[in-house]
């Protein structure tokens, strides 16, 4: 079960995958990406991820590649790996051109990278205990809805969280929550879910969307809109969503206990619903 890469038409060990120094992803972060998870040999929510990738490509104007091509490479790379529980990373950059900010050719050939690695997921103990988060000022660019490989602010925020002994850093802009360095966030109060609405200020998370769908199907009210920092602190529960984290309870924010200080019942209910969906393969758009 090898961890494997596909790079521009070639399958090879991950450590052997290398791009030219003039690749615009390396020089400028001029590219987009997706991360897909597999369960029991099945890629989860692949169609949803590819739709978001297609939108990201369109928004930054990367042409010369289709999501159908990307899908084929993902499926073939994953099949060659033979890894049942895997994390599949997909990255498309604008291509290779001598360094210049503006790209001067409309016929650039994009660089496509797919890697498949084993994935362990959140440890059971951490899922049961819940996680602590910190908040930081929002300093990222204005198009966070694009899944860009420009992640330096996210990386620095995640590092600050780690140094503070927290699991995640949540960005706050003008007193309102946006999202985490690599997660979306929900608050729970009086049996209702609250989460920032989609728009250029947050990434439309795949797991976020699935959780909203599940909740509404079960008659759980969901309000997508501005979520203030104060409202988050006053919530009964809070949880994070992401491909890797699935649904992960938050027990403190900036050192202040959330609700009972334990993973709340709504969080557990939604996590169990998510697991049930995975087992039944209910991930279609």
- Give catalytic residues, as residue numbers: 147
Neighbours of 192 (CB within 10 A): 15
The 8-class DSSP code of residue 14 comes to G
Three-class SS state of 160: helix
Number of H helices, E strands in the chain: 8, 15
C-alpha distances out from residue 113 to 79, 80, 95, 131, 163, Å:
16, 15, 11, 32, 31
Taking Cα atoms as reference points, which of 89, 88, 86, 90 lies closest to residue 120?
86
Question: What whole-number distance in Å separates Cα of residue 185 and Cα of residue 280?
Answer: 25
Neighbours of 65 (CB within 10 A): 17
Question: What whole-number distance in Å separates Cα of residue 236 and Cα of residue 130?
Answer: 14
Phi-psi region of 121 (alpha: psi -120 to 50; beta: other; left: phi over 0): left
C-alpha distances out from residue 30 to 3, 18, 56, 68, 148, Å:
26, 16, 12, 21, 8
Q: Output Rg (C-alpha) for the chain, integer angstroms.
A: 19
């Amino acid at each position: 079960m090898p961890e494997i890469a596909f790079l521009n038409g070639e399958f090879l060990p991950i450590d052997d995958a290398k791009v030219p120094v003039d690749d615009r992803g390396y020089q400028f972060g001029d590219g987009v990406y997706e991360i897909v998870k597999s369960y029991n040999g099945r890629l989860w929510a692949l169609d949803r991820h590819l739709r978001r990738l297609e939108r990201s490509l369109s928004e930054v104007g990367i042409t010369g590649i289709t999501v159908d091509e990307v899908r084929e490479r993902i499926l073939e790379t994953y099949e060659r790996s033979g890894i049942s529980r895997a994390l599949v990373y997909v990255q498309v950059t604008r291509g290779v051109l001598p360094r210049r900010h503006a790209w001067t050719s409309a016929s650039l050939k994009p660089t496509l990278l797919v890697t498949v690695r084993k994935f362990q997921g959140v440890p059971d103990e951490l899922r049961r205990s819940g996680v602590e988060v910190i908040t930081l000022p929002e300093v990222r660019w204005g198009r966070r809805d694009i899944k860009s490989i420009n992640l330096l602010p996210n990386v620095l925020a995640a590092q600050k969280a780690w140094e503070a002994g927290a699991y995640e850093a949540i960005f706050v802009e003008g007193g309102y929550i946006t999202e985490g360095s690599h997660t979306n966030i929900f608050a729970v109060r009086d049996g209702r879910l609250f989460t920032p609405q989609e728009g250029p200020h947050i990434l439309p998370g795949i797991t976020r969307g699935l959780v909203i769908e599940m909740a509404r199907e079960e008659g759980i009210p969901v309000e997508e809109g501005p979520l203030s920092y104060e409202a988050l602190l006053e919530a009964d529960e809070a949880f994070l969503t992401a491909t890797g984290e699935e649904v992960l309870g938050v027990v403190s924010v900036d050192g202040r206990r959330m609700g009972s200080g334990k993973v709340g019942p709504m969080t557990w209910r939604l996590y169990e619903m998510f697991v049930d969906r995975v087992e039944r393969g209910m991930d279609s758009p």
